[in-house]
C-alpha cells in the first residue's frame, strides 16, 4: 500500500502548548496541504478505590465551554518525561491520592488525522491519601464514581472525553463489568 | 465550582480543516493564554460482519508518520451534517459496504484540553456489499479482524487511535467479549 510522502513541513503558528504546521503531502500522485499539530504528549491515570469506585475529576474546559468529567491527566513536563512518572504526578496533584503501583493500560493517539498527541494511560490501585497540588489556574473537583454509572453516562452520550471513555470501557471490558 | 471565564478569542491561523485561536482565559483570578483549535466534527462507524469480525481500515497518517489500523471515519461534509449520515457515507466510501441499520454507540471529544472536535460513533450490522469510493488523496486497505485480536493489539500499545480504541473496547464491553 502506498505511503503518503511529505514534501515540506512549514511552521505556521506557535501556540502556548501547540505548534501548528502546514505540510505539503503527496498521496496517489495528488499534492495537498495538510494541517499538522505538534503536541508534546500526556499521561492519564484511572484511579481505582478499594471499593471499586473510580476517582474522577470535574473541571471547566475552555475548548468545550462546559464542565467535563474526566480521569486525571496532564501534559508531560518535558517531551522525554517518562509517561508513568507524569501519570503518577498528575494523580497526586489532581486527586490528592498517590499510588506506588501504576499499571500500564494502553496508549492513545487522540486525533490521528492532524495531531501527534499521545497519551499513556495507566491504572492505579492501592491509593494512599496525600495532598492535592493544583496549578494556579486549575480548579478541579474530585468525585468517586461507580464504573456502571460511568458506563451509563458514556452510552448516553454524556461522558465524551476520549481518554476517559477509552480507559473506562477498557477497564470494564478487562474486569468483565457489564 | 468556578467556571473559567474567557475574555477574548482571537483567530491566529486558518488551516485546511482547522482554525487556530488564541484565547485569553481567567480561572481563579489568574489570566492565561490558551490554545483553541476549532474542528467541524466527524463521525466513525464500527462495521460488524455476520461472523462477528470487524471491518478495519489501514492507511498512512501524515501526522504520525506511520500506517494506522482504524475504524472507518471521516469529517462532516458541513458542520450541520447529521453525524449518522456522515457515518453511513464514510462506511460505504472507505469499506465498500453499506448498512441500513446504524446504531448510536457514543460520542467522543478527541482532545478536550485544546480542541472542540466531536466524533459520533455508530455500530453497523447487516452489511451489504457496495462499492468503495475513495477521495483522490486516499489510499485505504480494508481488513476484517477478530475483536479479540484487536483487543490484544490495544492492550499491547500497538493500536492507539482514540476513536478506534474507544469503539472496540466499548463494543467488547457491551457484548461481553473477553
Counting as low any pLDDT under 50, the low residues of chain B are none
pLDDT of residue B14: 98
Parallel, antiparallel, or unpaired for β A54-61 and A19-27? unpaired
Task: Give the cell for residue A163.
Answer: 481518554
DSSP state of B2: P
**CA dist A163 → A74, A96, A111, B67, B176 (Å):** 11, 21, 11, 21, 21
Q: 3-state class of A36 per DSSP?
A: strand
Counting as low any pLDDT under 70, the low residues of chain A are 1
Counting one residue from A and one from B, how many pairs have CB atoms under 8 Å apart? 224
Parallel, antiparallel, or unpaired for β A42-47 and A73-75? antiparallel
**B5, B26, B62: best to mutate for the A interface, most A CBs within 10 A:** B62
Q: What is the pTM of this model?
A: 0.97
**CB contact B28 to A (< 8 Å):** yes
Q: Which of A70, A105, A112 sits opposite B161 (nearest CB)?
A: A112
Cβ contact B62–A141 (<8 Å): no
Q: What is the pLDDT of residues A106-137, one digit of tens each?
A: 999 999 999 999 999 999 999 999 999 998 88
Give A118-157 as a DSSP string.
EEEEEEEES-EE------TT---EEEEE-HHHHHHHHHTT
pLDDT of residue A138: 87
pLDDT of residue B2: 72
Cβ-Cβ contacts under 8 Å for A37 (sequence gap 6 or more): A18, A19, A20, A21, A114, A115, A116, A117, B18, B37, B63
Where would I find the beta strands (DSSP E) of chain A? 5-14, 19-27, 30-38, 42-47, 54-61, 66-70, 73-75, 97-98, 101-109, 118-125, 128-129, 141-145
Long-range contacts: B98-105, Cβ < 8 Å, 24+?
B98/B127, B98/B128, B98/B130, B99/B47, B99/B124, B99/B125, B99/B126, B99/B127, B99/B128, B100/B126, B100/B128, B101/B125, B101/B126, B102/B45, B104/A157, B105/A155, B105/B46, B105/B167, B105/B170, B105/B171
A32: exposed, middle or buried (C-beta count within 10 Å: 0-12, 13-18, 19+)? middle
pLDDT of residue A137: 85
Topology given in CATH for the domain delimited by B42-109+118-175:
Nucleoside Triphosphate Pyrophosphohydrolase (3.90.79)
| Residues of B (40-59) whose Cβ lies below 8 Å from A | 42, 58-59
DSSP state of B4: P
Cβ contact B112–A63 (<8 Å): yes
Q: Which of B68, B112, B160 sits opposite A61 (nearest CB)?
A: B112
pLDDT of residue B136: 86
| Angle at CA of residue B43, ends B58 and A20, nearest 5° | 75
| Residues of B (139-178) whose Cβ lies below 8 Å from A | 139, 141, 151, 154-155, 157, 160-163, 165-166, 169-170, 172-174, 176-178
Phi then psi for B132, rounded to 5 degrees?
Answer: -70, 135
Closest Cα in chain A to B108: A160
ipTM: 0.97
- What CATH number is given for A42-175 in this structure? 3.90.79.10
Task: Give the cell for residue A132.
Answer: 492535592
Parallel, antiparallel, or unpaired for β B66-70 and B30-38? unpaired
Q: What is the pLDDT of residues B87-122, one digit of tens each?
A: 999 999 999 999 999 999 999 999 999 999 999 999
Nearest-10 Cα torsion for B91, B63, B32, A159: 30
pLDDT of residue B128: 97
Closest Cα in chain A to B38: A63
**CB contact B20 to A (< 8 Å):** yes
Query: Which sequence spans correspond to the domains of chain A?
Result: 5-38, 42-175
- Rounded CA-CA distance A151/A159 in Å is 9
Q: Residue B5 pairs with which residues in a beta bridge?
A: B26
Amino acid at each position: 500500500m502506498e505511503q503518503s510522502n511529505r514534501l515540506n513541513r512549514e511552521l505556521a503558528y506557535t501556540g502556548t502548548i501547540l505548534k501548528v504546521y502546514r505540510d505539503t503531502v503527496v498521496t496517489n500522485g495528488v499534492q495537498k496541504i495538510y494541517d499538522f499539530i505538534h503536541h508534546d504528549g500526556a499521561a492519564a491515570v484511572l484511579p481505582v478505590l478499594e471499593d471499586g469506585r473510580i476517582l474522577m475529576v470535574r473541571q471547566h474546559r475552555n475548548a468545550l465551554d462546559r464542565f467535563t468529567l474526566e480521569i486525571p491527566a496532564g501534559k508531560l513536563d518535558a517531551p522525554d518525561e517518562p509517561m508513568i512518572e507524569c501519570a503518577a504526578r498528575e494523580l497526586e496533584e489532581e486527586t490528592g491520592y498517590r499510588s506506588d503501583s501504576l499499571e500500564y493500560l494502553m496508549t492513545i493517539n487522540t486525533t490521528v488525522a492532524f495531531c501527534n498527541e499521545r497519551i499513556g494511560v495507566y491504572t492505579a490501585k492501592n491509593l494512599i491519601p496525600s495532598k492535592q497540588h493544583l496549578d494556579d489556574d486549575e480548579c478541579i473537583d474530585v468525585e468517586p464514581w461507580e464504573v456502571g454509572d460511568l458506563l451509563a453516562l458514556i452510552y448516553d452520550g454524556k461522558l465524551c472525553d476520549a481518554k476517559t471513555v477509552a480507559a473506562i470501557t477498557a477497564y470494564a471490558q478487562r474486569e468483565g463489568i457489564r
